[in-house]
C-alpha cells in the first residue's frame, strides 16, 4: 500500500466527522451561547422559566443567583443555571387568573 491509499481510507471518516460537527456540535454550541447571553441580560421584573418548569419573576439579581418570585410574596433563591428561558411579559398573570 502506498501513502495515498492509506490517506484515502480515512477520507470517509473525516467527512463523517465534519458532517457531525455541523449537524450536532455547532448548533448545540450556538444554543448554549444564546442561553448564556439571555441569562446574563435578565433584570428585575423579567419573567422566566426554570428547568423544573416553574414560571417566576426576577425579583433581584445577585451575582450567580436570582431571587425569584414564584407567587405573590413567595420568593426563592436559585442559581442562574436553572433558568432555561425568558417568557413573554404578562404570562404569569394569564396563568394565575
Q: Are residues 26 and 49 in the same domain?
A: no
Question: Strands (DSSP E) along the chain, which ranges?
Answer: 47-50, 55-62, 65-71, 74-79, 83-86
Quick one: which of 50, 41, 37 has its CA closest to 84?
A: 50
State how far the Cα of 87 lies from the Cα of 38, in Å rounded to an integer: 11
Calpha distance 25→30 (Å, rounded): 9
In the structure, how many helices (H) and strands (E) does the chain have? 3, 5
Same domain, 94 and 49: yes
Global pTM reads 0.72
Number of domains forming the structure of the chain: 2
Range of the domain at 20: 1-41
Give the pLDDT confidence of 47-89 residue by residue, as tens digits: 999 999 999 999 999 999 999 999 889 999 999 999 999 998 8
Amino acid at each position: 500500500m502506498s501513502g495515498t491509499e492509506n490517506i484515502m481510507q480515512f477520507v470517509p471518516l473525516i467527512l463523517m466527522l465534519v458532517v457531525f460537527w455541523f449537524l450536532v456540535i455547532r448548533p448545540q454550541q450556538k444554543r448554549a451561547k444564546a442561553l448564556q447571553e439571555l441569562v446574563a441580560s435578565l433584570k428585575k421584573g423579567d419573567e422566566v422559566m426554570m428547568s423544573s418548569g416553574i414560571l417566576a419573576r426576577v425579583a433581584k439579581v445577585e451575582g450567580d443567583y436570582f431571587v425569584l418570585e414564584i407567587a405573590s410574596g413567595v420568593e426563592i433563591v436559585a442559581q442562574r443555571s436553572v433558568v432555561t428561558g425568558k417568557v413573554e411579559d404578562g404570562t404569569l398573570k394569564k396563568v394565575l387568573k
